[in-house]
Amino acid sequence: MNTMVPPTEKSCYNHDEMENEERDHKKLGPRLGLFYIDPVVGKGLPMFLPKGAVIKRELEKFIVEEETKRGYQHVSTPDIARLALYQKSGHYPYYQDSMYAPIEIDDEKFMLRPMTCPHHFQLYLATSRSYRDLPLRIAELAKLYRYEQSGEIMGLQRTRVMCLADAHIFCVNEAEAEQEIGGALDLIEYAAGVLGLKLNEHYRYRLSLGDRADDKKYFKNDTAWEKGEALLRSLMHRRGSEFEEAKGEAAFYGPKIDIQMKNIHGKEDTAFTVQYDFCMPERFDLAYTNARGERQRPSARPSELWLS
């Protein structure tokens, strides 16, 4: 799982150097027979041993059962897709440096997928949708592949292959989207609690914002950015959650709420994220039929739980 070993003391932020070394998951994994990195297989490609595979399987079972209880519908999509899919979504221009190189087959280019968003949006388009179908919560335990730089690879925290508990929720309007985002945060807090992690002690919230002046990094729609950021900020205030705001940390398609955790060495990573996406419904021409029989654009919002 892409978080640190749960602490046994008050906080994972306070341990002397020797104890930190003993609690380093990169050492604990091989020592306990959970996982190891095989140099012949490659950097950033963890190999789970039988005991580790049992833990991984139990984590996956836990999150699937919990999501199912909360109305998520699980799907399964391919680990590979045509390059055209990521060009359609806009991910390729923004993320191609962290994607594996295209694979050419039968004069077409394919990519190992680095995210499930485009797959789930195409799945939404597979059939006509009514307002009665929304909110639609699509979820998947997906294998993802990202070409992380060698210097950034670290144990199970930063890898080149991972399992992501990914979900995309399609909503009728912004009010419903806000309610669904709150539900996703409830799920994250519950899952973290089961693992012994406490809000504001072992993890914290960050509201990641865009930068209106940077239209190379961010989708250009100032009005949508203002509304999306205001929606997330308002939700966090209503929940009574402490959070910091970070300009320039958003996804290219919208603002997000990141759950930040420090590892045993004091470096902070994003363990979970809930994103408000105002860009993809337009790019994929997503629609549903409203109560008046009219074609209408839904709100789409992805959430991510890292499981591998």
Question: What does the pLDDT look like over 153-181, one tens digit per residue?
Answer: 989 989 999 999 999 999 999 999 999 99
Whether the predicted model's global pTM rises above the 0.95 cut: no
Model confidence at 12: pLDDT above 70: no
How far is residue 98 from each of residues 90, 120, 150, 219, measured CA to CA in Å?
14, 21, 12, 19
Task: Kindly tell me the sign of the dihedral angle through the C-alpha atoms of 60, 66, 67, 68.
Answer: positive
Model confidence at 210: pLDDT above 50: yes
pLDDT > 90 in the chain, percent: 72
CATH number of the 17-79+113-306 domain = 3.30.930.10
Any idea where the domains of the chain sit in the sequence? 17-79+113-306
Two tokens at 221?
């729609």
- The distance of Cα 279 from the centroid of its chain, to the nearest Å, equals 17
How far is residue 229 from each of residues 66, 117, 210, 223, measured CA to CA in Å?
28, 20, 9, 10
Q: Which residue has the higher pLDDT, 19 or 152?
A: 152
Res. 264 pLDDT band, cuts 50 70 90: confident
